[in-house]
Structure 1
Amino acid sequence: MPPKNSKKITGNNDSDEEPKLQAIVLTDCFQTKFMPLTSIKPRCLLPLANVPLIEYTLEFLAQSNVSEVYLMCCSHADQIQQYIDESIWNLSSSPFKKIQTIMSLESRSVGDIMRDVDSRGLITGDFIMVSGDVVTNMDLTKAISIHKQRKLADRDYIATMILKEASELHRARSRIEPACFILDKETDKCLYYQDIPSINGSKTSVNIDPEVLEGSMEFIIRNDLIDCHVDICTPQVPSIFQDNFDYQFLRSDFVKGVLSSDLLKKHIYAYITKEDYAARVESWQTYDGISQDVIERWCYPIVPERNMLIDQTYTYESKHIYKENNVRLSQSCKIQSRVVIGSDTIIGDGTNVVASVIGKNCHIGNNVTLENSYIWDGAKIEDGCIVKHSIVAANAIVKKNAMLNSGSVIGFDVVIDENVIIPNDTKIIKDPVKNLSDSTILSFESSDDESNNDDSEDDESDDEFIHNIKKTHDPSIVGENGIGFLYEDEDDDEEQGFGNSTIIYQLASLNVSDVSIASTTIVHQHRHKKRTTSTVSGYLTEDDEEEFSKEAIATVTRALENNHDIDTALLELNTLRMSMNVTYHEVREATCAALLKRVGHFIETQTLGAKDATGKVFKRWCPLFKRQVFDDDDQVDLLMILQTLCSSIDKTYNSLVFLYALVVLYDEEIVEEENIYKWWDSEESLRLVEVRDKAEKWIEWLREAESDEDDEEEEDE
């Protein structure tokens, strides 16, 4: 909500004013941590304490005297555009001179966004770069003043990172992406940055090159900081991204790359705040923690009764209870503490509500138990339900006597039938996230062969059956009269690795990966991985395999995202292979993993269907395999790798992606028919039945076509 005393600034006396302060808002996080909800609505528009997340970010920028705001939009850009057009920030009374949504639909990372910003020439002076999911009451006035001083004192200065000091157990600290900052003790200049992800819930560490610390009299190691991704930048920052196309991530690529570059020789500083509240909603855990912080008034004056939206009417009562007008509460219901209730909501007899947020136009029935949960606008919880540590999205219905256990996420418009028990950490979505319009069995028709047409008809009937299945409910999850599907996300494993994947912060099971850093050199722990033999060096160690796989996948991914030429990608891969002394098996494995990851990205974001996504990626990049596959055994190995990796990706489309990838490899003459049959009939392939169903029809067609050709040759002879 704009400050009450703010006035619309005109351009009549710009010469007498200070240079305008601009802001770049990253509305897309380029992650899937909030799936399946973000398949319907962008993260920045998801409600926190009944206020869309983007409102907290814009409020922060308004209080920081920002003049121009550019919201860089990727996924669901049309929803963000519509929201801003209809918001108070677009009115003449807005404190912003200019607020504009920029459609950057091709961007797939922060690096892409910044390169787009540079290409458009949006930045004319200093600017604030901020994520669209930041919740803070911070006043940037002091930080901006220090930013100006550093510009004058250090000609190589380019940016200041805003960091919040927090205890290791602070509930708003991310347990998914902890990081370590090494700072000069006197100046707060950042000397080194390293993210320290957890492996299977175990603490990991960083390796620091002593040369990094040269020239610093005294330094400090900080891993007690919340990184909100708020940065005060000079105009040089976008151009540095433009000149370094391998910079994709803000911290692990840009900050780490700048600090370690002998060519750039630029400096990045930190500004650490202690008193202010600042955090990012980047996981289920932080969503829950920040929601409770707002309710408990730790972010004051950012509290519900501030009524940040124009139609809100919250008032504050004791025990951190907030209610809007026209709320209807039964006399026998119990609203205990830390509760937010939106307007026109009804709560029935005997219902108990504690530490929860309930949106507008919700109906909570009789004898309902609602604990540490978030019920969004228009949702309905019928009589006798138990909802604990869960999210029920807008317009969802939970019918009588159903039970939602910890970590449940009920998507938009989902219906849970009566007496259904939803297990822990279950995510349900109304319709399959994947775009099924293109997910049909390939048709291999031949005008010369009648039987092929019959197969095509069978394929189409199978497709129709699959399509119909996807458009009905899954009774094993939502009950016979429910509506919805189980959603499985690989990102969940990352959160579970920290000892707790539920949205509620449970201190007893907390296993923070960055509790302490006792020394500057500790060895990473790696998950177990089967060793593979090498004709050159005998056995590869687990560490060698893990390190090569990580580096090779990153190399191919960069080539995909930045559309590098094939020769450049092959050169980088081959250099990496020789430097780490690995076999071509590992190279093929990493290449397949990167290609499938890219295909999955297109499908998950609904950019392309399974067929188009696989065709787009594999047709463009399968020439990589021509320098990795040299004989029959290599072809069989490539097919086995592809089958193994496809069997581990999302089951709603893995068999389709596997089929389309096979067809491309065959059409592009990467693999030959004889080797396809050899692989297909092998015991190792037969064991992985998960992805063979769709490919089986194509294999049969291939064999029949070969048989027909042989018959024709015999007739000709």
Structure 2
Amino acid sequence: MPPKSKKINESEEDEQKLQAIVLTDSYQTRFMPLTSIKPRCLLPLANVPLIEYTLEFLAQSNHVSEVYLMCSSHAEQIQEYLDDSKWVSPSSPFKKLQTITSHESRSVGDAMRDIDARGIINGDFVLVSGDVVTNLDLGKVVKLHKLRKQQDRDYICTMVLKQASELHRSRSFIEPSCFILDKETNRCLYYQDIPPVDGAKSTVSIDPEVLDNVGEFTVKNDLIDCHVDICTPVVPTIFQENFDYQDLRTDWVKGVLTSDLLKKHIYAYITSHHYAARVESWQTYDGISQDVIERWSYPIVPERNMLSDQTYSYESPHVYKEHNIRLSQSSKLQSRVVIGADTFVGDGTSISGSVIGRGCHIGHDVTIENSYIWNGAVIGDGCIVRHSIVAAGAVVKSNAMLNSGSVIGFGVVIDKDVVVPNETKIVKTPIKTLQDSAMFMSSSEDEDSEDEDEVNHAVAKKNDVDGNPLDSSEVRDANVVGANGVGFLYEEEEDDEETNKGYSGIMYQMAQLNVSDVSVASTTVGAHHHGSKRKKRTYSTNSMYISGDEDGEEEEEEEEEDFHKEALATVERAMENNHDIDTALLELNTLRMSMNVTYHEVRLSTSTALVERVDHFIATDTLGVKDAVDKVFGQWSALFKRQVFEDSDQIDLLLIVQKLCCHLNESYRSMVFLFVLMQLYDAEVVEEDNVYLWWNDKESNTEEMRVVRDKAEKWIEWLQQAESDSEEDSEEDDE
């Protein structure tokens, strides 16, 4: 009798559990050319395939019994991966795990219509993208889902959204969105995507009738939409009845909310205490990778060893190593490094902010910064790799340089001494059209095995890094990969170019992106940030503003010029719109980290914007000299408190401001400089001793710089006299 009772209980429990639909395809080309060889859901993030993060999320909830993975491209690779995974073992938490190949699907809408036609859904289900990284407690969402079903007969879906800063580094700027919600219930009243428009402010237009019978509502554009939805069986039916619904949010959500016929309700579940984000672009790939390494997604961290054969251990500061790694004695693993098993790192090599896969060979005297080197890749002696991706099996020969935004495809060979320009993507074999590339679905039966092997694996021949030309020398574009290289320049489709416009360079050239050394998630994820300490920020000790004296290469000069332009616009926008100081500081720090410039450049751009603002007020007779300086520097000199950290920084700032004032109208430039100097001193941005050091510095007393010193000289004398009087008074008091 007891066994029978147990069987009944298990059956009831299974009935209460949900099904899950995992969309393994993004139906986009943002990760081309890599996704021409391997599906996005199998691309590695911190050396773990993306699909693992999604399945782990579903498994941890203990609320999902059946999982269906919808595949349109590379279905065979996905099936092969799952067949060898823990998810099909007897101990799997899922009662059923099945891939469904849907060759004709070209959008989420197509996939949902296919699901409805197959009759797969028999109850409530979780709809999730195969590129989600989250430590969300799905159980809380499911509980709220069931409650809303009881309370609202028109309820059909709950969307999971993550509260985050506008500049959160794992938030996509490709598809920013606006949600209008009922303040009391979080019922979604209206949705609109807000595509970025250069130089223009976005607006949201809404029919007033949508807000009828609504008390208070909120407009939210500070949410990360990780595409985790709890749905009722009505959802696929709505897609089936509306063939023009293609996108999940822009078409389906917006269509449901604005339909006079459907009259259905969609709610939002907003979390601020969990980590949740989608890897939907190069930008978010990097941001989420860094968040995982820095432990903001705890317990989703490398040493959890999500794959059964992984052996990662955690070392401070944020360094993760597997077993069987060969590190030369003089090699240096700086902070934020993940390095896989059977990898060799040579003498004098420095690695920071990067993920190195398994079986990689990193030569001697190599510099790798903020980059991702996948399994089996080879980096030759003396190479410099910055802000780049080197796919599995690729070879970068000695003394080559990969600049920001480089994507070296599977099996590509970069010849020695080759410099790969910014934002260059290289493939092993030419990709003619989107039809020829992204749609390498399962290979047809009559396709020859040699082609299939090249498409599905694309592993370069293993030869000496500095050896002779490879046998496949006929497949090369010498202008891109060098005389002995293998590969071709990948030119993006028009859709790709439009999608990635302004978001190139993986994420490092992006002005809007937050890639600070501490995730913005730190303000909300403290409870999950176990096992690590907040990193100590290190500051630049850059000194002296001397235009044109640096040995900077042309690339660095262009990067600094781009930064100056963006930073100038950022400060000007902050002043015009009267933003708060913290927002402006966050944007400036975002730019600094994304473009890899020094704090000197930040000080220069900030000072330029403030001095130009003062000059504008004076030149247009809007304000007098003192009032103009007091208005601008009185409010905005606080920006410098996050740009000036050492004595040399204070001197550098004074030299910058002095030089800028030298170019103002001679009738008031000396007075402007005097009042700015006084403001910086009063705001305690610069200290008295450093004022004297600046005053006596030869750079401040050149013929060019001397033109604004006359008025300041009297103030310096007064300052020295005041100090002298103070010392005398102190001595008298002591006596």
TM-score class normalised by the smaller sequence: 0.5 to 0.7
Structure 2 letter corresponding to 1:175: F
* TM-score, structure 1 as length reference: 0.64
Please name the residue that 1:158 is paired with: 156
Query: CA separation of 1:59/1:438 partners in 2, compared to 1, >3 Å: closer, same or farther?
Result: closer
Alignment of 1:83-98 (within 5 A): 83-98=81-96
Which whole-Å deviations, capped at 9, do the CAs of 1:503-546 have from their partners, x for residues lacking one?
A: 3366565999xx99x9xxxxxxxxxxxxxxxxxxxxxxxxxxxx
Please name the residue that 1:502 is paired with: 506
Which whole-Å deviations, capped at 9, do the CAs of 1:442-484 have from their partners, x for residues lacking one?
A: xxxxxxxxxxxxxxxxxxxxxxxxxxx9962000000010001
Structure 2 letter corresponding to 1:262: D
Alignment of 1:127-526 (within 5 A): 127-200=125-198, 202-434=200-432, 472-489=475-492, 490-494=494-498, 497-498=501-502, 501-504=505-508, 507=514
> What SS class does the counterpart of residue 67 from structure 1 fall into?
strand
Higher Cα radius of gyration: 2
Structure 1 letter corresponding to 2:261: L
Q: Distance in 2 between the 1:201 and 1:23 partners?
A: 41
> What SS class does the counterpart of residue 167 from structure 2 fall into?
coil
Which whole-Å deviations, capped at 9, do the CAs of 1:192-239 have from their partners, x for residues lacking one?
A: 000000123644222122121111111000000000010000011011
Which whole-Å deviations, capped at 9, do the CAs of 1:630-684 have from their partners, x for residues lacking one?
A: xxxxxxxxxxxxxxxxxxxxxxxxxxxxxxxxxxxxxxxxxxxxxxxxxxxxxxx
Query: CA separation of 1:10/1:342 partners in 2, compared to 1, >3 Å: closer, same or farther?
Result: farther
Please name the residue that 1:58 is paired with: 55
Q: Distance in 1 between the 2:434 and 2:48 partners?
A: 33
> What SS class does the counterpart of residue 228 from structure 1 fall into?
strand
Query: CA separation of 1:282/1:474 partners in 2, compared to 1, >3 Å: closer, same or farther?
Result: same
Q: Does 1:74 align with 2:77?
A: no
Q: Indicate if the aligned counterparts of 1:200 and 1:498 stay in contact, CA closer than 8 A.
A: no
Q: Distance in 2 between the 1:34 and 1:321 partners?
A: 27
Q: Distance in 2 between the 1:142 and 1:201 partners?
A: 41
Query: CA separation of 1:87/1:485 partners in 2, compared to 1, >3 Å: closer, same or farther?
Result: same
Deviation at 1:105, TM superposition (A): 1.1
Q: Indicate if the aligned counterparts of 2:293 and 2:336 stay in contact, CA closer than 8 A.
A: yes
Please name the residue that 1:637 is paired with: none
* TM-score, structure 2 as length reference: 0.63
Please name the residue that 1:33 is paired with: 30
Query: CA separation of 1:17/1:79 partners in 2, compared to 1, >3 Å: closer, same or farther?
Result: closer
Which whole-Å deviations, capped at 9, do the CAs of 1:575-596 have from their partners, x for residues lacking one?
A: xxxxxxxxxxxxxxxxxxxxxx
Q: Indicate if the aligned counterparts of 2:113 and 2:236 stay in contact, CA closer than 8 A.
A: yes
Structure 2 letter corresponding to 1:414: V
Q: Distance in 2 between the 1:369 and 1:377 partners?
A: 18
Query: CA separation of 1:344/1:151 partners in 2, compared to 1, >3 Å: closer, same or farther?
Result: same
Please name the residue that 1:22 is paired with: 19
Single out whichever of 224-233 and 490-499 deviates more from structure 2. 490-499
Query: CA separation of 1:96/1:421 partners in 2, compared to 1, >3 Å: closer, same or farther?
Result: same
Structure 2: gaps spanning 5 or more residues: 1-5, 438-471, 515-562, 578-735
Q: Indicate if the aligned counterparts of 1:377 and 1:395 stay in contact, CA closer than 8 A.
A: yes
Deviation at 1:143, TM superposition (A): 1.1
Deviation at 1:437, TM superposition (A): 12
Deviation at 1:140, TM superposition (A): 1.1
Q: How many residues align?
A: 478
Q: Distance in 2 between the 1:161 and 1:298 partners?
A: 22
Q: Indicate if the aligned counterparts of 2:473 and 2:486 stay in contact, CA closer than 8 A.
A: no
Deviation at 1:502, TM superposition (A): 3.2
Alignment of 1:528-539 (within 5 A): none
Q: Distance in 1 between the 2:7 and 2:357 partners?
A: 38
Which whole-Å deviations, capped at 9, do the CAs of 1:133-180 have from their partners, x for residues lacking one?
A: 000011111111111010000000000000000001100000100000
Structure 1 letter corresponding to 2:106: R
Query: CA separation of 1:54/1:16 partners in 2, compared to 1, >3 Å: closer, same or farther?
Result: closer
Deviation at 1:492, TM superposition (A): 4.8
Deviation at 1:86, TM superposition (A): 1.1
Query: CA separation of 1:10/1:240 partners in 2, compared to 1, >3 Å: closer, same or farther?
Result: farther
Q: Distance in 2 between the 1:334 and 1:406 partners?
A: 22
Q: Indicate if the aligned counterparts of 1:258 and 1:264 stay in contact, CA closer than 8 A.
A: yes
Query: CA separation of 1:423/1:251 partners in 2, compared to 1, >3 Å: closer, same or farther?
Result: same
Query: CA separation of 1:297/1:201 partners in 2, compared to 1, >3 Å: closer, same or farther?
Result: farther
Which whole-Å deviations, capped at 9, do the CAs of 1:257-278 have from their partners, x for residues lacking one?
A: 0000000000000000001000
Please name the residue that 2:459 is paired with: none
Query: CA separation of 1:495/1:334 partners in 2, compared to 1, >3 Å: closer, same or farther?
Result: farther
Q: Distance in 2 between the 1:17 and 1:345 partners?
A: 44
CA RMSD for the aligned pairs?
Answer: 2.3
Q: Distance in 1 between the 2:173 and 2:435 partners?
A: 37
Q: What's the % identity of the aligned pairs?
A: 70
Query: CA separation of 1:202/1:437 partners in 2, compared to 1, >3 Å: closer, same or farther?
Result: closer
Structure 2 letter corresponding to 1:244: N
Deviation at 1:498, TM superposition (A): 3.5
Q: Distance in 2 between the 1:325 and 1:350 partners?
A: 21
Structure 2 letter corresponding to 1:481: N
Structure 1 letter corresponding to 2:274: D
Q: Distance in 1 between the 2:422 and 2:486 partners?
A: 19
Q: Distance in 2 between the 1:192 and 1:237 partners?
A: 17
Which whole-Å deviations, capped at 9, do the CAs of 1:398-451 have from their partners, x for residues lacking one?
A: 001000000000000000001100010000000112379999xxxxxxxxxxxx
Which whole-Å deviations, capped at 9, do the CAs of 1:61-88 have from their partners, x for residues lacking one?
A: 0012211000000011110111111110
Q: Distance in 2 between the 1:372 and 1:103 partners?
A: 36
Structure 1: gaps spanning 5 or more residues: 1-8, 440-468, 519-717
Q: Distance in 1 between the 2:502 and 2:8 partners?
A: 52
Structure 2 letter corresponding to 1:58: L
Q: Indicate if the aligned counterparts of 2:377 and 2:391 stay in contact, CA closer than 8 A.
A: yes
Q: Indicate if the aligned counterparts of 1:200 and 1:497 stay in contact, CA closer than 8 A.
A: no
Q: Distance in 2 between the 1:83 and 1:329 partners?
A: 30
Structure 2 letter corresponding to 1:45: L
Q: Distance in 2 between the 1:248 and 1:56 partners?
A: 26
Structure 2 letter corresponding to 1:40: I
> What SS class does the counterpart of residue 479 from structure 2 fall into?
helix
Q: Distance in 1 between the 2:57 and 2:10 partners?
A: 25
Query: CA separation of 1:183/1:431 partners in 2, compared to 1, >3 Å: closer, same or farther?
Result: same
